[in-house]
Amino acid sequence: MRREKQKGILYILLAALFFSLMTAFVRLSGDLPTMQKTLFRNLVAAIAAWIMLLTSKEKIGIKKEHWPDLILRSSFGTVGMICNFYAIDRLNISDANMLNKLSPFFAIMMSYFILKEKASKKEWCIVAVAFFGAMFVVKPGFQMETVPAFIGLLGGFGAGVAYTFVRKLGKNGVRGPVIVMFFSTFSTIVCLPFFLASYEPMSLKQLLLLLGAGLAATGGQLSITAAYTHAPAREISVYDYTQVIFAALWGFLFFGQIPDLWSVIGYVIIIGAAIYRQCRA
């Protein structure tokens, strides 16, 4: 059991690094439509997942009873990703990452409905504290950044629900590469019409950056899927917050971004709630 938890921690740290690189590449690719960026991220991941599965000795076959969960995982994951990419282009990337990292708290809430896992009163209090911290990052008001921040928050909700379904699928024996393949293919198909309708020509640099984002996302997706199939979210999710540290580093190095005081207070509250929850697990 301890070895499985250690594997989960290692995978989630790798996922944090990969996903932080993805956000940096997405922002560096410049002023392109969100759907165009999202499609490239998913297309690369879909191709990689299909190659892995087709070269594997195991069959790809998906049992009929797993289809609804795969579709729900992919639907919520796609909405969450689109919202996250929208926020990345309009906020400090560390803020966008932190809002997305509220997903474990949303996962606690949705696990009650999806996995029938009941949270304690203390866990509900921790969730409330985390969302209180999120308000320091969102900074509700009439500023132009408030709308992208709330959309980023919605992205965290989509990711939290999606990862709850990943946990359910993993517990039911669905392999990680199959989950990634289904999600990436589903998202690519959903984004394709929007991509065709709003396509903007890209430079070679932009194309390479989006391909880099896709490769980083593939590594992150495989890692996060492996993490949640090796250990429950309540035991390892706190380590996912290293993504915010990585993102803050890329934000400073590539964009000269420094989070404001209110955002830092929000980070401390949210990560503090996550650490407290981890210690109580």
Average predicted confidence (pLDDT) for the chain: 88
| pLDDT value at residue 177 | 82
Q: Pull the structure tokens for residue 101.
A: 């990292």
Angle between helices 67-88 and 2-28 (to 10 degrees): 50
| Torsion angle of C-alpha atoms 244, 214, 43, 104, degrees rounded to 10 | -20
Rounded to two decimals, the pTM is 0.86
3-state SS, residue 55: coil
Please say if the pLDDT value at position 234 is more than 70: no
**Pairwise CA distance, residues 103 & 106, whole Å:** 5
- Asked if 38 and 119 count as a contact pair (C-beta separation under 8 A), the reply is no
Q: Among 265, 271, 210, which Cα is nearest to 30's?
A: 210
Domain count of the chain? 1
Q: What separation in angstroms does the CA of 69 have from each of 30, 62, 85, 100, 200?
A: 35, 11, 24, 22, 34
83-95 pLDDT, tens digit per residue, is: 999 999 999 999 9
Of these ranges, 22-36, 52-66, 117-131, 173-187, the one predicted with the greatest mean pLDDT is 22-36
- Asked if 93 and 28 count as a contact pair (C-beta separation under 8 A), the reply is no
- Asked if 97 and 247 count as a contact pair (C-beta separation under 8 A), the reply is yes
Q: How far is it between the farthest Cα atoms of the chain?
A: 56
The pLDDT confidence band at residue 33, using thresholds 50, 70 and 90, is very high
| pLDDT value at residue 43 | 93
Place of tokens 């992205």: 155
Containing domain of residue 99, as a range?
2-280
Q: What separation in angstroms does the CA of 59 have from each of 25, 34, 49, 124, 174?
A: 34, 34, 13, 41, 12
